[in-house]
A and B are shown apart, each in its own frame.
Chain A
Amino acid sequence: MSNILSIAKREIKAYFTSPIAYVVISVFLVLTGFFFSSAISWFSAQSIQLAQNPQYYQQININQMVFTPLFHNMSIILLLMLPLLTMRLFAEEKKVGTEELLFTSPISVGQIILGKYLAALAVLAIMLALTFLPAVFTFLWGNPELAQLLNGYLGLFLMGAAFIAAGIFFSSLTENQIVSAMLTFGALLLFWILNWASYSATGMWKGVLNYLSIFQHFDDMTRGILDTKDVAYYLSFAFVGIFLTHSVIQSRRWR
């Protein structure tokens, strides 16, 4: 474990001594803030209108009207930004020659991968934690449901963890960071829109494509549904990404 932490600490330091983490976190916060304020403005206007009609008054729900669309927007920002966070993880080591230091040290390839993964997860956690601050204000002047809100954040974190695993995998394939980011983005987008293909599919394929779609599992979580099948999907996605990274690195060295 100490080896994993040593690698993770160095990676986190590398994120925060270069502009990468600051730029990614700042852009994420600015865009999230914009979507949050837009959603709140729309929610206020709608609330005033709906409040005039007792029949619709019961339908005012800040979780569904603000946070569900906000989580959807945040997930798309993560889809765009996390490849930028993961693109350097192995590509840079290869490019500058430091992989020779790592792989000639008495630590395992698995420990190196997990250390890097943990570091990227830590940055993701910081990104998400900082967006919680605006949500706190909604508790001051409204009554959102905390469990549903936390469920949405859990969904974002699990989805981000899956994105990061895919990013590490593509970073291990190349020494070019742009190529790494583009491959990650392309692959994740493909998984995102798999359920579109399910509309025209029939039988078993419809279910398979729906299950493989990243978005399908996230949608449930933003609505407050915590299903083990969704959690298992993201954890499996992350595991496959890490396993493939391990296989790529080992096979390259043994070729």
Chain B
Amino acid sequence: MIEVEHLTKKYGDLVAVNDLGFKVERGRIWGLLGPNAAGKTTTMRILTGFLPATDGRATVSGFDVFEKPDQVKRITGYLPEIIPVYPEMTVTEYLGFVAAIKQVPSAKRAAALDRAVKVSGLTEVRRRLIKNISRGYKQRVGIAQALIHNPDVLILDEPTIGLDPAQIKEIRELIKSLRGEHTIMLSTHILAEVTQTCDGVVIINEGRLMASGSLEELTASFRKKDGVMLKVRRSGDEVVASLQKLAGVDGVSRENGEIKVEWSPGRDLRETVARLAVTQEWGLLEMRPLAMNIEDLYLRIVGGEQ
């Protein structure tokens, strides 16, 4: 579990992280989302003990990052944005070195190495020099070094940056497979990453917390209207007029050949709309609930909407 309270980091006059607070439950995957220079990397560096905070408090699995940095480092795996590998070493040599400095007992190192190699899908390249493996495999090596000491918490800074679509998919699947056993916080500015990988999200901008919670909670709290998108074969003006006359409907509009029907949150007029479409023989092709996608949510939040 990760808990952050009133975290602030200043570089001279520049405030990189400003009174940040959030909580990530044990065994969940949480995204740290924000535009470039939002303070994501600084927050992660503070959580991993690489940088001290100017003010505030952060705990990882109950250990205070500033008072017990060694304990935090023992139970935290960290993949920085730039993969921290030594190109002249083989994958096995490198992971062996990381296991040693992460204090894995020497009797357990071979087993820890085998596990990390297997989980990260590095079996094929384990004897190759790191400088000779692909970018995707290097990213896996980065994840393997974060996993080698079987940490409670994984902090992954932009884990899919610079990868091709197939590699991105592989890394996302790998991260998802670690859910439950590890609490994971990953930073990204790729919105799809959050929806496809994370249980919840912390959105920050200019170092400040903009929103935090599960995706369902956030979309529910930011949705001002419920409704449906309706696709019918015959969508003349009479269709729009009929829908507008329905009790409880607040607005009807056309969007990309479909009809958007909106009503106040808390009501549910889906059955009424469907029945009307069928009885009036409009040729109902499709009806789906209005959903706020992550892009809308992100733009609203980063745009400053409360």
A residues contacting B by CB (< 8 A) are 2-3, 6-7, 9-10, 13-14, 17-18, 96-107, 253-255
Residue of B nearest to A101 (CB): B84
Contact of A107 among B76, B89, B101, B145 (CB under 8 A): B101
Q: How far does the Cβ of A13 sit from chain B's closest Cβ, in whole Å?
A: 7
Q: How many A-B residue contacts, CB cutoff 8 Å? A: 68
A104 touches B73 (CB 8 A): yes
Contact of B98 among A13, A96, A99, A101 (CB under 8 A): A101
Q: List residues 2-24 of chain B with CB under 8 A from any CB of chain A.
A: 11
Residues of A within 8 A of B102 (CB): 105-106
Q: Mark B97-136, 1 if CB is under 8 A from A, else 0.
A: 1101111000000000000000000000000000000000
B80 touches A6 (CB 8 A): no
Give the CA-CA distance A254 to B69 in the complex, in Å: 14
Q: Is B51 interfacial (CB 8 A cutoff)?
A: yes
Given contacts A100-B50, A104-B49, A106-B103, contact A14 B11 (CB under 8 A): no
A104 touches B48 (CB 8 A): yes
Q: How far does the Cβ of A2 sit from chain B's closest Cβ, in whole Å?
A: 7
Residue of A nearest to B49 (CB): A104
Q: Is B296 interfacial (CB 8 A cutoff)?
A: no
Give the CA-CA distance A70 to B149 in the complex, in Å: 51
Q: Is B246 interfacial (CB 8 A cutoff)?
A: no
Residue of A nearest to B71 (CB): A106
Given contacts A13-B89, A100-B78, contact A253 B51 (CB under 8 A): yes
Given contacts A14-B86, A106-B73, 6 further A-B contacts (CB under 8 A): A10-B86, A99-B84, A100-B78, A101-B78, A101-B98, A105-B101
Given contacts A6-B97, A100-B80, A105-B73, contact A253 B88 (CB under 8 A): no
Residues of A within 8 A of B50 (CB): 100, 103-104, 253
Contact of A97 among B70, B83, B97 (CB under 8 A): B83
Residue of A nearest to B73 (CB): A106
Q: How far does the Cβ of A51 sit from chain B's closest Cβ, in whole Å?
A: 54
Residues of B within 8 A of A104 (CB): 48-50, 73, 76, 78
Give the CA-CA distance A102 to B48 in the complex, in Å: 11
The 6 tightest CB contacts between A and B, nearest first, are A97-B82, A101-B84, A6-B100, A106-B73, A100-B80, A17-B88
Given contacts A106-B102, A107-B101, contact A14 B48 (CB under 8 A): no
Residue of A nearest to B75 (CB): A106
Query: Which residue among A10, A98, A99, A101 has the maximum number of chain B CB atoms within 10 Å of its CB?
Result: A101
Residues of B within 8 A of A107 (CB): 101, 103
Contact of B82 among A9, A10, A14, A96 (CB under 8 A): A96
Q: How far does the Cβ of B159 sit from chain A's closest Cβ, in whole Å?
A: 14
Give the CA-CA distance A17 to B130 in the complex, in Å: 13
Residue of B nearest to A98 (CB): B84
A10 touches B74 (CB 8 A): no
Q: List residues 38-94 of chain B with CB under 8 A from any CB of chain A.
A: 45, 48-52, 70, 73-74, 76, 78, 80-86, 88-89, 93
Residues of B within 8 A of A6 (CB): 97, 100-101
Residue of A nearest to B145 (CB): A101
Residue of A nearest to B11 (CB): A255
B73 touches A100 (CB 8 A): no
Residues of A within 8 A of B73 (CB): 104-106
Contact of A106 among B74, B80, B81, B93 (CB under 8 A): B74
Give the CA-CA distance A36 to B258 in the complex, in Å: 91
Give the CA-CA distance A157 to B27 in the complex, in Å: 54
Give the CA-CA distance A84 to B286 in the complex, in Å: 71
- For this complex, 23 residue pairs linking A to B, each with C-beta atoms less than 8 Å apart, are A3-B100, A3-B101, A6-B101, A7-B101, A10-B89, A10-B97, A14-B88, A18-B88, A97-B82, A98-B84, A98-B86, A99-B84, A101-B78, A101-B98, A101-B145, A102-B101, A103-B49, A103-B50, A105-B101, A106-B73, A106-B101, A253-B51, A255-B11
Give the CA-CA distance A13 to B94 in the complex, in Å: 11
Residues of A within 8 A of B78 (CB): 100-101, 104
Residues of A within 8 A of B82 (CB): 96-97, 100
Give the CA-CA distance A9 to B145 in the complex, in Å: 18
Residues of B within 8 A of A253 (CB): 50-52
Residues of A within 8 A of B103 (CB): 106-107
A100 touches B89 (CB 8 A): no
Residues of B within 8 A of A105 (CB): 73, 98, 101-102
Residue of A nearest to B155 (CB): A104
Q: How far does the Cβ of A174 sit from chain B's closest Cβ, in whole Å?
A: 18
Residue of A nearest to B70 (CB): A106
Give the CA-CA distance A98 to B78 in the complex, in Å: 12
Give the CA-CA distance A105 to B151 in the complex, in Å: 12
